């Protein structure tokens, strides 16, 4: 790609950037990254510049480089930049996503890297890649899955739809158990979503009350939830009990929340109130 080339570099040929502002690295986060590298492999390449004589200087990704050394990796994937222009390098990476045959987890890592290291925005990613902002945000959320689940997604054993459904569970152990069940029983994405909804609905009741409240099961609720999900382009759950009901709308980022609020019309009402001097 213009402004950069990709290579597998020996970790010993890379030296840290003397101008790196971060000198203290979170040990717990580093341990998680080491586990991820051992379980899943490298999802994001580091960025280096060629300083001659087979040596390279880190530009981005010192945590990944440190973690690679700690787990005994001999090589690490790297983008060798040949231009000081960050915008050109970012644009080259954006264009390359179109041509690369990435699995869902690699795609999530690429989006995250473009957002965090190259200053891209959700809007820019959505426009350049031809996807909606919620799709971008929900794909990035796959990076929050535990390493064993990420490994199955990377291997194609679990689909992106299965992985997104698992994100509805807050507990990583529960995510891993359901992932195993998906593989063992060949569960569909829809069946997985229903199991997640049941787990979320039952979980708080088991923890807080010995007697479970009876829930009203209305066939139209699933249809309503699906229509709302399509409307807001995100997961929506509709629950109803004996005396009251609840609608839960999930969002991935603050930008995503603002988008949903705007669709509901709250922002418009606030704007009218300001214009009228209220």
DSSP string of the chain, one letter each residue: -TTEEEEEEEGGGEE--TT-S-----HHHHHHHHHHHHHT---S-EEEEEEETTEEEEEE-HHHHHHHHHTT-SEEEEEEE--S-HHHHHHHHHHHHHHS---HHHHHHHHHHHHHHS---HHHHHHHHT--HHHHHHHHGGGGS-HHHHHHHHTTSS-HHHHHHHTT-S-HHHHHHHHHHHHHHT--HHHHHHHHHHHHHHHHHHHH-SSPPPB---HHHHHHHHHHHHHHTS-EEEEEBSS-EEEEE--SSHHHHHHHHHHHTHHHHHHHHHHTT-
Tens digit of each residue's pLDDT (9 = 90 or more) over 136-181:
888 888 888 888 888 888 888 888 889 989 988 988 899 999 999 9
Q: Taking the model in full, what pTM does it have? A: 0.51
Radius of gyration of the chain, Cα coordinates, nearest whole angstrom: 22
Q: 């705007």: which residue's tokens?
A: 262
Long-range contacts of range 215-218, CB-CB < 8 Å, 24 or more positions apart? 215/239, 215/240, 215/241, 216/240, 216/241, 216/242
Instruction: Place 209 in a pLDDT band, splitting at 50, 70 and 90.
Output: very low
Residue 124 catalytic? no
Question: How far is Cα 31 from Cα 22, in angstroms, rounded to an integer?
Answer: 17
Report pLDDT for 221. Answer: 67
Q: Is pLDDT larger for residue 61 or for residue 221?
A: 61
C-alpha 187 chain-centroid distance? 22
CATH number of 5-138: 3.90.1530.30
- Using alpha carbons, list the distances in angstroms from residue 168 to 33, 34, 249, 251: 23, 25, 11, 11
Report pLDDT for 96. Answer: 62
C-alpha 114 chain-centroid distance? 12
Q: Is pLDDT larger for residue 89 or for residue 4?
A: 4
Task: State how beta strands 55-60 and 46-52 pair.
Answer: antiparallel
Question: How far is Cα 5 from Cα 82, in angstroms, rounded to an integer?
Answer: 8
> Token pair for residue 147?
């390493």
Among 45-59, 91-105, 183-197, the range scoring the smallest mean pLDDT is 91-105
Instruction: Place 18 in a pLDDT band, splitting at 50, 70 and 90.
Output: low
Q: Where are the domains of the chain?
A: 5-138, 146-202, 219-264
Order of strands, sheet of 14-15, starting from the edge strand that comes earlier in the sequence = 4-10, 75-81, 46-52, 55-60, 14-15
Tens digit of each residue's pLDDT (9 = 90 or more) over 219-261:
566 667 777 776 777 777 777 765 677 888 877 677 778 788 8
The residue from 39, 62, 124, 194 that is catalytic is 62
DSSP string of 44-90, one letter each residue: S-EEEEEEETTEEEEEE-HHHHHHHHHTT-SEEEEEEE--S-HHHHH
- Using alpha carbons, list the distances in angstroms from residue 132 to 43, 96, 190, 250, 275: 23, 19, 22, 15, 31
């Amino acid at each position: 790609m213009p402004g950069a080339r990709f290579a597998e570099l020996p970790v010993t040929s890379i030296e840290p950037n003397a101008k790196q502002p971060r000198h203290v690295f979170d040990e717990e986060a580093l341990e998680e990254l080491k586990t991820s590298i051992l379980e899943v492999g490298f999802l994001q390449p580091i960025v280096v510049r060629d300083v001659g004589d087979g040596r390279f200087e880190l530009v981005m990704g010192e945590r990944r480089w440190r973690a690679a050394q700690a787990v005994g990796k001999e090589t690490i994937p790297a983008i060798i930049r040949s231009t000081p222009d960050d915008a050109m390098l970012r644009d080259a990476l954006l264009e390359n996503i179109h041509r690369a045959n990435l699995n869902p987890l690699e795609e999530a890592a690429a989006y995250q890297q473009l957002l965090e290291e190259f200053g891209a925005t959700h809007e820019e990613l959505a426009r350049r890649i031809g996807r909606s902002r919620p799709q971008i945000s929900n794909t990035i959320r796959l990076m929050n899955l535990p390493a064993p689940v990420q490994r199955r997604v990377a291997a194609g054993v679990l689909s992106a739809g299965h992985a997104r459904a698992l994100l509805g569970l807050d507990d990583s152990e529960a995510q891993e158990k359901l992932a195993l069940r998906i593989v063992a029983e060949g569960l569909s994405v829809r069946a997985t979503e229903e199991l997640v909804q049941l787990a979320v609905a039952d979980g708080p009741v088991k923890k807080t009350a010995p007697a479970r409240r009876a829930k009203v099961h209305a066939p139209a609720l699933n249809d309503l939830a699906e229509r709302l999900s399509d409307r807001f382009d995100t997961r929506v759950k509709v629950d109803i009990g004996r005396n009251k009901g609840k609608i839960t709308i999930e969002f991935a980022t603050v930008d995503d929340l603002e988008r949903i609020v705007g669709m509901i019309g709250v922002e418009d009402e606030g704007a009218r109130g300001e214009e009228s001097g209220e």
